[in-house]
Homo-oligomer: A and B are copies of this chain.
Amino acid sequence: MTRHDGRAADQLRDVTILRGWQEHAEGSALISAGRTRVLCAASVTEGVPRWRKGSGLGWVTAEYSMLPRATNTRNDRESVRGKIGGRTHEISRLIGRSLRACIDLKQLGENTIAIDCDVLLADGGTRTAAITGAYVALVDACGWLGRSKAIIDGVSAISVGVVGGLPMLDLAYVEDSAADTDMNVVCTHGGAFVEVQGTAEGAVFDRAALDALLDLAVAGCTQLAKRQNEALAGPLPAGPPPRSASAGGGR
């Protein structure tokens, strides 16, 4: 069976990660995976939420959102509807948990890093692309802070699923819509699991299917880890200003 875009079952879509794309942010990355495109920004503020003050620990939080026309038909803005939907909430929480797994909050000190993941174009796998891109932004933000040691491991994420009876890696939207089972997996660069979220969309799944999907996902995350490290190895293309020179920019 061939996939709609000619990929093998265990093949990722093309991935590019551009650092420093949102210039004002302390860290940012524009990640593309096929036709999915997510802008990730890491914003540093001194201090932590009130419930955390005096603990010596930092905090990392995340918000995910989608532009109205990222998708094939336009979605109403959540700001216009006046409330955030369940899917948005769920993904924001997932991103936050995933990134907190790769950071030593004590090394971060009492600083807060807010991660914004805004989907500019959507073709499946937006939440996993967001995590993969956000990690790059987070690393740059920690560097900007002079706290690179707070990063204790890398994190990448990918979707897998059973489509037409076959386990497949990195589902595009048409595949995701047709999947019987859909799973999002977040791994450390070291190969451990941070999150495993498998859902029977059209059909329940057995242990063998679960194992096959996990194998695919772990291999996919390993490849993404390379892309992340390559992006981080280069110079900051349009890098954020050094800390002291953070000149104003705005409306």
Interface residues of A (CB under 8 A from B): 22-25, 28, 35, 39, 41, 43, 45, 63, 65-74, 77-90, 92-93, 97, 101, 114, 116, 118, 120-124, 126, 153, 173-174, 176-177, 183, 188, 190-200, 204-207, 210, 214, 246-251
Contacts and interface: CB of A to CB of B under 8 A. Distances in A.
A193 B205 contact: yes
Contact of A192 (B174, B190, B204, B247): B204
Contacts of A173: 248-251
A74 B61 CA distance: 13
Contacts of A67: 22, 39, 41, 116, 118
A209 to B, nearest CB: 8
Q: Which of A72, A116, A191 has the most CB of B within 10 A?
A: A72
A198 B184 CA distance: 11
A217 to B, nearest CB: 11
A74 B93 contact: no
A251 B93 contact: no
Contact of A195 (B195, B199, B249): B199
A141 to B, nearest CB: 11
Contacts of A193: 198, 200, 204-207, 210
Given A39-B120, A249-B122, A210 B196 contact: yes
A250 B97 CA distance: 20
B214 A192 contact: no
B72 A80 contact: no
A91 B40 CA distance: 25
7 contacts: A23-B35, A24-B72, A41-B68, A68-B114, A74-B116, A78-B79, A101-B200
A96 B68 CA distance: 16
A198 B199 contact: no
